[in-house]
Amino acid sequence: MDARSDFTTRMIQADGIRLHCTEFGAGPPLVWLHGAGPGASGMQNFGGNVTAFPGRRNLVFDFPRYGGADKPVVRDGLFSYNARQVVAALVTLGVAKATFIGNSMGGATALRIAALRPDLVDRLVVMGSAGAIPEDEPLTPTLLMMVDVLRNGPTRDKIAAIGRDFVHDPALVSEAMIDERLRAASDPELLASGKDTMLKPESLVADLPRIEARTLIIWGREDRVLPLRWAQPLIAGVRNAETRIVPHCGHWVQIEHRDWFNRAVADFLSD
């Protein structure tokens, strides 16, 4: 994660809670929405990407229950709840239209926003997005481990196993990253509210034809969290979507192939 003096951080009022936001650059807004791994945060997911876009107003959010955001009990559908909070935070910030970039849970949240509020979305980039898991398929072992952390709490072994499943090359998951994520996932406030939290994923397949924004779908070929075959409903359902499949890559395209990802997004935004 980059730590730079030209990053600003603050708490943003959303819908009854506050989201943590890191801001960098100036220009048309670019909203970054992270994934759901235990101990995740916006800058941990995207710290190596935002500095490639200094001509944009980069807004990197921590979702509810992650990073520096508030840790509420959540009983609503996960993607709808997150979407409501992000939209409310953007109202607080005075953002009327933005491009959204989302990984996994963040991708599903961005898709939900694009379906419900097409006026708010200029373009859309989603990587290994949740929201379209086939009903007849069981959860992957990695997703089951993530559910176990929510229900029973984190351990270092659980965090390490999940992190290494997220990437094609396990060497990319450092001991320092594991330690950082374990600390975040062990936050006492998070653990206390987690006992009453039911994070319900939602199927967004019915939403997809309503998405008007031009969309770039990116998927790691070796993704073990949300396998490549789960991209098909998004590819078929989003009318204005193009797709890039990245070889030798797992769930974190933006980390595993950072330079390629930054160029691909820059090209998509400028085209």
Query: Does residue 20 carry a catalytic annotation?
Result: no
Structure token pair of residue 155: 């351990």
pLDDT value at residue 39: 95
Identity of the residue numbered 181: R
Predicted confidence (pLDDT) per residue in 109-165, tens digit: 999 999 999 999 999 999 999 999 888 889 999 999 998 998 889 999 999 999 999
Which is the catalytic residue, given 20, 34, 168, 251? 251
The second-level CATH assignment, the architecture, of 8-270 is 3-Layer(aba) Sandwich (3.40)
Give CA–CA dist 181/15, Å, rounded: 26
Predicted confidence (pLDDT) per residue in 48-57, tens digit: 999 999 999 9
Provide the residue ranges of all domains of the chain, joining segments of one domain with +: 8-270
pTM, to two decimals: 0.95
pLDDT exceeds 50 at position 1: no
Predicted confidence (pLDDT) per residue in 30-85, tens digit: 999 999 999 999 999 999 999 999 999 999 999 999 999 999 988 888 999 999 99
For the chain, what is the HEC assignment?
Answer: CCCCCCCEEEEEECCCCEEEEEEECCCCEEEEECCCCCCCCHHHHHCCCHHHCCCCEEEEEECCCCCCCCCCCCCCEHHHHHHHHHHHHHHHHCCCCEEEEEECHHHHHHHHHHHHCHHHEEEEEEECCCCCCCCCCCCCHHHHHHHHHHHHCCCHHHHHHHHHHCCCCHHHCCHHHHHHHHHHHCCHHHHHHHCCCCCECCCCHHHHHHCCCEEEEEEECCCCCCCHHHHHHHHHHCCCEEEEEECCCCCCHHHHCHHHHHHHHHHHHHC
